[in-house]
Amino acid sequence: MPLARSLSVTSLSGLEDWEEDFDLEDAVLFEIAWEVANKVGGIYTVIQTKARLTCEEWGDNYFLVGPYMESSVRTQVELIEPCNPALRRTIDKMNASGCKVYFGRWLIEGSPYVVLIDVGFTAWSLDRWKSELWENFSIGVPWFDREANDAVLFGFLTAWLLGEFAAQCDSPPHIVAHFHEWLAGLGLVLCRQRQLPVATIFTTHATLLGRYLCAGNVDFYNNLAEFNVDKEAGDRQIYHRYCLERAAARCAHVFTTVSKITAIEAEHLLKRKPDVVTPNGLNVKKFSAMHEFQNLHAQSKARIQEFIRGHFYGNLDFNLDKSVFFFIAGRYEFSNKGADLFLEALARLNYLLRVNHSEVTVIAFFIMPARTNNFNVETLKGQAVRKQLWDTAQTVKERFGKKLYESLLIGQLPDVSKMLDKEDFTIIKRAIFATQRQCQPPICTHNMLEDSSDPILTCIRRIGLFNSSSDRVKVIFHPEFLSSTSPLLPMDYEEFVRGCHLGVFPSYYEPWGYTPAECTVMGIPSVSTNLSGFGCFMEEHIADPSAYGIYILDRRYRGVDESCNQLTSFLFQFCQQSRRQRIIQRNRTERLSDLLDWRYLGRYYISARHMALAKAFPDTYCYELQDPTSGFRYPRPASVPPSPAHSLHSSPHHSEAEDDDEEERYDEDLEAEKDRLNIRQPYSSTYRLQNSLCVDSVCVCVRFSIPDMTLVRPNQFSY
């Protein structure tokens, strides 16, 4: 689902209309991944959200290739006859030789065409294909590794599909095949080995070995260059998978990763420097109303406050209006996701707030699914007590209202002392007594199965954050995904994020990091690290990230204790902001949305495809890079007229209404000007297309933006 944002604030200087003249008339794009129409992990989100943009670019020449999984096909795919005649012949021929290949439309935004291959149906060829794999590449696959066996089948089937398609085309086609992750990687290696006319791209979203090493609490980044990769992979019994991944990276025309940090990881673990970094984007939906996200924040915040009232019943000795909500969310990987650092920083923040006699209360939510057996009675009781108090207040109000009405009918001034009679007081007193509580408000909302060994709970016990009334930092651990049907906190994840003040994601290993990106699009500030793809990307594109609510923690060049102090100072700094300052910060955060939109980030993919075409078909395509320039300051040329969206919100009425009564001004025009100075404009480069069919003189120049020149040096690609 696209995340909504407001229409008004578009001031990113690099987002002018982009002339797309790279001639793709006779080119065909296949995008191949195990997670096409098959949700396993994060790659699904990447492909699903990107599809719309790619469809717009390639139209009917874009095909996603994935495995056929009956359950997801039934709910997500409409099976149809293949539209492309060459592809129809290909599929018919494959089906006639003992495969099961389906064609359809994937019912997501952009409704792209999908080719789905039933991998299990051709399992009878597994042994033959494994021998071929062995003979050509000396890679064997253990028969008990089911996933790797699927990768072999999928790889051979996709290579067969591409080869057959190339053979069925009337004129020699220009095929681009984009493979994601190691599970699809073998197809790429086979394409190269069979010398198919295919331009290949390989994208890793994380390296296999990196994931394993980080999970094993290794000092990963400091030893990156020293690992004996063969040994590490072999010791972890993933050598065959690692070989497939590394072979794909070696054979690809263009190799890409999702972030700069993963690029460094790939360079050391897969021994190839990525040619392009292709960050992951989001589909940003625009609201029609101004600053709608601020209203949504207020609504969601009110609902979280209600939950807090129930959760802390009997101990509500803090001012809810002066509370800020922090949260961390994601898969339950205690140290990889940085929950350890966050807890330690919270303990330090608690101390700082107490010694400074701060009025601010911090409530930190941990949304990380763990093994539980349902809600804990005490938390459910809290919500029930709150509901009961609400009902009591409503009853007394009814009776009060009736008496008032009667006295008005008689024409007398009401006697205030008689408005509440004895019975009312009894009800009220009873309700107040019901809220007494002997214990402290619970930390965990559920009954944990491994309560005594759970890392978060163990850590909380050690640092002593027990939600006592003297603590300025309270902790709530919700070990389950949020759902709008939950009896406890009936909100879905998006609503919850909107209601919080700050997302904290101090991850140690995070190839991209969708969570902080989602926060940004919703206008919620976040903390990330320079070890996460998102943090690297923002650091590179914004001059002063923390002014925009993007706090980037240095975990790469500092020790744990230093990083923890830095995080504590970020949190403390955030707590000291006034409400007004927080609102302005949210506005600024939200202005960064465009930077994360696929409309912008999709260009990195486009550049990867062009680069691959130019490498595979040097006679037809040509690719050139202009000299990259550096620095953040890229004033917008005066000749460029403001975009319509921009002019809409800069109307004088609006800024008066918003800012008159406040001391600190927030002026959209001024902010836009600041953005132009602070947000980095992507580089420009020129791509030239040489059509070999035409005479040499026909050269079409394309203005093309490619950022991140640290990875691509111009002299490398002189085609």
Partner 1 sequence: IQILPLSFLSAADQAFVTLATTEDYCMGALVMGKSLRRHGTTRKIVVLISSSVSPEARHSLERVFDEVVQVDVMDSMDRTHLSWLGRPELGVTLTKLQCWMLIKYKKCVFLDADTLVLQNVDDLFEREELSAAPDAGWPDCFNSGVFVFRPSLHTHSRLLAHAAHYGCFDGGDQGLLNSFFKDWAVKDISKHLPFVYNLSSIQSKFGHQAKIVHFLGAVKPWHLRYDQSNKDSYLDQFLNMWWAEYRSQMPPISGEVDGNQDSGDMLHVSMKPSRHLNAQMRWVRSWLECISSSNNPSENMTMLPSAGYGTLVKFVIFLFYLRSIIKQHFIYMFVFTLSQINTETAEESLHHRRMWEKGHVDYMGKDSFENIKKKLDIFLD
Binding residues vs partner 1 (CB under 8 A):
123-124, 126-127, 130-131, 134-144, 189, 192-193, 195, 229-231, 233-234, 237, 239-240, 243, 246-247, 250-251
In degrees and rounded to multiples of 5, residue 590 shows phi and psi of -65, -25
Residue with structure tokens 């944002």? 5
CB of 503 to partner 1, least distance (A): 34
- Choice between 192 and 472, CB closer to partner 1: 192
Helix (H, G, I), strand (E, B) or coil at 257: strand
Contact 221, 255 (CB under 8 A): no
Beta-bridge mates of residue 63: 30, 113
Contact 144, 174 (CB under 8 A): no
Helix (H, G, I), strand (E, B) or coil at 143: coil
CB of 231 to partner 1, least distance (A): 6
- Choice between 143 and 405, CB closer to partner 1: 143
In degrees and rounded to multiples of 5, residue 326 shows phi and psi of -105, 155
Q: What does the alpha-carbon distance between residue 669 and residue 648 come to, in Å, rounded to a whole number?
A: 11
In degrees and rounded to multiples of 5, residue 195 shows phi and psi of 55, 40
Residue with structure tokens 């953040």? 632
Burial class (CB in 10 A: 0-12, 13-18, 19+), 394: exposed
Distances (CA, A) of 694 to 19, 25, 26: 22, 14, 14
Q: What does the alpha-carbon distance between residue 249 and residue 268 come to, in Å, rounded to a whole number?
A: 12
- Choice between 137 and 400, CB closer to partner 1: 137
Residue 137 identity? F
- Choice between 142 and 464, CB closer to partner 1: 142
- Choice between 144 and 433, CB closer to partner 1: 144
CB of 102 to partner 1, least distance (A): 20
Instruction: Write b or e for each residue in 230-249: b if 16 or more Cβ atoms lie within 10 A of its Cβ, otherwise e.
Output: eebbeebebbbbbbbbbbbb
- Choice between 7 and 126, CB closer to partner 1: 126
Beta-bridge mates of residue 446: 375
- Choice between 354 and 371, CB closer to partner 1: 371
Beta-bridge mates of residue 198: 175
CB of 123 to partner 1, least distance (A): 6
CB of 142 to partner 1, least distance (A): 5
CB of 38 to partner 1, least distance (A): 20
- Choice between 69 and 542, CB closer to partner 1: 69
Six token digits for residue 246: 């590394």
Q: What does the alpha-carbon distance between residue 474 and residue 442 come to, in Å, rounded to a whole number?
A: 10
CB of 462 to partner 1, least distance (A): 22
CB atoms within 10 A of CB 227: 17
CB of 229 to partner 1, least distance (A): 8
CB atoms within 10 A of CB 253: 23
CB of 686 to partner 1, least distance (A): 29
- Choice between 464 and 618, CB closer to partner 1: 618
